[in-house]
Structures are given as C-alpha cells and as structure tokens.
Amino acid sequence: MATNRDVFAMLSELITLTTLEEESPQSFKVRAYENAKLGLEAHGEDVTGLTVTELTKIKGVGKATASKIRELVDGGTVEKVEKLRAKYPPEFVELSRIPGIGPKTLKLIRSELGVENVEQLRQAITDEKLRDLPGLGETSEAKIAKAIDRLGLTGKDRRTPIADAMPLAERLVADFAAIKGVVDVIYCGSLRRMSETIGDIDITVASKKPAAVMKAAVDHTECVDVVVNGETKTSFLTREGLQIDVRVVEPDQFGAATMYFTGSKAHNIALRQRALDRNMLLNEYGLIDISDETLEGDDRPVVASKTEAEIYAALDMAYVEPPLREGQGEVEAAVVTGAAATGKKKPAKKAPAKKASAKKASAKKKSKSSEEEVEPTGLPELIQREHIHADLHYHTARSGDGRSSVEDMVKVAAETGYDFLAITDHGVDLAINGSTAEEMLEHRDHIARVQEEYPDVLLMWGCELNIDGKGGLDYDDDFRALFDYTVASVHSHYDQKPTAQTDRLIAAISDPTVNSIGHLSGRYIGRRPGIEFDVDAVLDALLHFDVALEVNGALQRLDAASDVVRRAVDREVKLVINTDSHHTSELGRMEYGVRTAQRGWAPKDLVVNSWDRDRFLAWVAERPSRT
C-alpha cells in the first residue's frame, strides 16, 4: 500500500526526469511538480486516501498531479514516470549531476556523440570531442573533466550522496516499521554516522517474525533485483543500482546488532578490544562474559545486548553518538574516568532500559556496580536537537526562491518551539532571487506586523548577503548596519583560485555587519564541488572577528563539512546550526545539521543558537566593535 513517502518519492523522480525532458528546471511542469511536493509535505497529513478533487484543494496540487498521485496509490505505478524512466535510465540521469552540463547540453552530447553514461563522457573528453559542440569549447571541456574527478563519478566504488540516500532510508524504515510483529527498525552503516556519501543502505529490524520482513523486502517497490534472499537477510538493488541490506534480529539482540552494523570498522575494533581486556566478547549478538572458561557457546552469560546504551555502560563508557563513531579517539574519550580497562572483568552492570540518545556524555556518572561517583568522560557535552532555540538562516517568499509566506514560516517556527528567529531573505545582488533596499524596508515592516501576533518569539529582520568575487557584500555599509542579523554566503564565482577564494571569505568575515558565514564552501554534495580555500586561514579569521561558522542542515549541503567543524571546534570558533529553509516543510533539516555538528565534535556551548536569547543578543550587539 502506498504511503505519503511513496508519493513524495514519485514526485521527486518526476521532477528530475521532467527537468531532462523539458530541458529546464524552470519549466512550467517542473515547477508544478515542485509546488505540489512542497504543498503535500506542508499539508502534513496522509494524502493517499484523498480523491483527485480533495487533493487539488491542497495548496500547489493541480489536477494533473493529483491524477498521478491517485494512479500511484491505486495501481502502484505512474505511466508518465515509466515512460520517462525508459527514455532516461539512471546512468544517463547521473550525468545531470555534473556541473556545467545542463539539460540542453546533456541532450546535445547524447544526440551528437551517443554519450549515455559517465564512462562514455570521459572517453569523449579524452578524445577532445566535447569542445567541438555548440556552446562548449576547450575551457568547458576541461571544467567538466575536473568536476567528474572531484565528484568521484568514476570507478567501480561510486557512492550515493546523502541527500539521495537519507529520504530512501527513512522511507524504508517507515515501511518496515509498519509490518506486524516488527518491534523496532533503524538504518545503520555510514548513513547513521552521517557520512556525506554512502556505499549501500543497511536496515536492521527487530522482530520474531523474520519471514514477513523478508517478504516485504523482496516485494518492496524499490526492489528491482534480488541479490540475496535468506531467512534473516535480504539484499536487493534499487533502479539506481543502490544496494539495500535488510537484516532481522531477535529483539533482545537489537542493540548489539545496530552497534555492529553502524560501525565504523575502526570503532568496532576498539570496542571489541576493550571488551576482551575485560574478559568479555563483543559481536553482533551481544556483549558476552567469557571469564568462565568452562562455559561455551550459549551457556556463556550475556552481559548486555538489548540497547547500545547498555553495552557502552557495561564497558564503563558513556554513550557515543553515532556520528562520532569513526575511530578518531571517541572510544578513549568515552571511558568514564576511573574505569579504564584492567584486563579483569568488572561485575556485570545493569543499564537502564532507555533510548541511547538520552545518554548525557558529559554528565557525572555513578558506577552501576557501586554507589561510587566517577568523573565525566573526555567527550564534550555534544550539541543535541533539544538544545536549539532558534533558526538563523531562514527564507520566506520575499526571496525569489522562497515558497512560503512570512506568516506561514513564522507560524511553523513558533510551533517548533523556537525562542527567536532571524528571517534572512536574499540580498539584492543574487540574480532573480534578491531584493532591493526599498523592498527590504517593506519586508522589515511586514515582519514587524507579524511580530505582533507572536509576542513570545523574537523575530529579527535579517539578510543573507552575497559574497562577490572579491569579498564585497550587498547594499552599502550604512544600510547593511540596519539589519538585526546577517549571514554572508558564497553563491557565485566558484572557479576562482584558492588564494582568491580565501581572500574573498576573509574580506566578508572582517566586515562589521556580518554575524555569520553561511554554507562555507557553497557545495552541493555529489552535484557541485565546493570552492577551494585555505581552511586554517578562514577559521583563524572567524575566531579573530568572532563570526559564527554555519553548519547548514540541508542534506545537499551539510556545509561546513564535519571535518571543518572539528577543526573549528579545536580553535573554539563559534558555530550556528541552521536549516536554510525556503518552505515550511524544511524545518526538519535542523536534525541533520545537529548530527553533522556532532560528527565534528561540536559542544553545546559553542553553538550560538543554543544560547538563551539575552546571551545571543549581547553577542550580536558586540559585533560592530570586533575588528
């Protein structure tokens, strides 16, 4: 039975394929599908039971799109999608991810050179055939070749961008969770660790009825080719060639299994060694006491297996958030002071039966085998979603690419529980999407009127300023100083040399009207490489001028990247986690931003939108004096 997630997936694919068919992402049909998807996501309720007439009452949904939704729900497929799939197979669609190749150019390359995939495109570049096509040339050919290399689109071990993998994984989790007899289900692997690209998707299911789950896997609409179909494991391929591994485990072993299949390999090796040092064995079935050499196999007592939290606690460790599990010192840091491995097994501990995410790594802990208080671990008090009090990169319909009104965007922010909000629509220099000074002043008055309806949420009139090729910003200095808050971002000049990119970023950072730097590299993961610059120099400038570095939660960005966040944290550069929302359906990005910040070991106190309102406003007020 189709779900809302199936509808959203169908529309997403229709948007991609129609962009190729219509040769423009701005065509009427593409925009219609985009508006319908946004409207349905904002609707927030099940739409699969609605009639065509009822569907068209949802903002953005036209009759043609409504009919396709009913076609999917009633028959499982959509004729239009099937026809476009046949015309544009996945390996051809992959070419559309390459910067410099728009839909029209892609069709030209296909018709003139017979190019159908990346390998053939690379060969055409090697043979210097692209440069002879209308609208291209030697420079374009070189840029396309460089983009292919930087995006990692060559070779057998290609990886899927997280923006493609995450929605599919969340949809699969929801589908398997709905199966009768399923106790719990979670995606694992590098996706759970918030890697920017993934090799495959691992789904772990807790159930005593594995047969039902295995059948659901092979019958799933995403399954086009079954690789393995066993009693407790099924692997299948999607139409795009992405492998999905579904494993069913006993509910009592769910924690051990999720820990094992989440990885990373380095993290698991360190945990297993810590277990062995304490006369225990750790595997995907549990943490097992092996101190009694007279016992073998199932006769050995299980110390912990139900939850990850229990296993970490039994190893005298704080819970390690999945994004940290990369073998970069997190195991050593998580050891509770005074509980280092001694080679002698400690008495078994009974961990609380609660979700691992509730574990507070930096809180003082008590030994589970005694009332002796022990000191906190070396892990930071990581930022958590519940710590976030505000979104400080937030668009409305005032931006040309914004899709929701000020009223609607403020309403969902208030419902989310935010204490303050910076509405940062695009500055004038962003082509098509920007606003003039006069329009911005009208926007300020609009925000002020909406503020009256939400006395408990501070609305700040802000702006996303554009950093030009030399580091200049929108508007004149005096006008920029009027804004309550600004975020400055790169939206152009991606091909400058690293020295020029570094200089432009530092110039923007040094401007006294700038509070934060948005999506630092300007990348789109798997689609557009970010600018190249001196990271250390930029981070030093951020620290010197006390400007916050954004962690953008949009899955296609996750920018600044987690490795840059880690380097920023080491310097104590302030951070801000934002959604960069352009529609009311996009506030969920905050969770991805938080997890990316966690992957960079970001502590709560460095994140400015985790602060209370007074502390935050005091920091903003001091900015003009920090030079």
Please write the tens of the pLDDT for every residue from 424-440: 999 998 877 889 999 99
- The pLDDT value recorded for residue 29 is 93
7, 69 contact by CB (below 8 A)? yes
- The pLDDT value recorded for residue 375 is 53
For Cα atoms 543, 535, 525, give the angle at the middle one, nearest 5 degrees.
120
Structure tokens at 513: 């009207």
- Predicted TM-score (pTM) of this structure: 0.85
Rounded CA-CA distance 159/310 in Å is: 33
- The pLDDT value recorded for residue 370 is 30
Structure tokens at 558: 């996750």
- The pLDDT value recorded for residue 156 is 56
Q: In what order do the strands lie in the sheet with 286-289?
A: 280-283, 286-289, 302-304
CA end-to-end span of the chain: 60
Buried b / exposed e over 269-289, threshold 16 CB at 10 Å, is ebbbebbeebbbebbbbbbbb
Please, what sign has the CA dihedral across residues 91, 95, 96, 102? Answer: negative
**Cα 285 → chain centroid:** 30
In order of their start, the domains of the chain are 4-88 (1.10.150.110), 92-151 (1.10.150.20), 160-249 (3.30.460.10), 253-356 (3.30.210.10), 385-625 (3.20.20.140)
Q: What is the mean pLDDT of the chain?
A: 90
- The pLDDT value recorded for residue 403 is 87
Can you list the residues of the chain whose pLDDT is less than 70? 152-157, 338-377, 626-627
Structure tokens at 271: 């945990």
Quick one: which of 525, 584, 511, 586 has its CA closest to 560?
A: 525
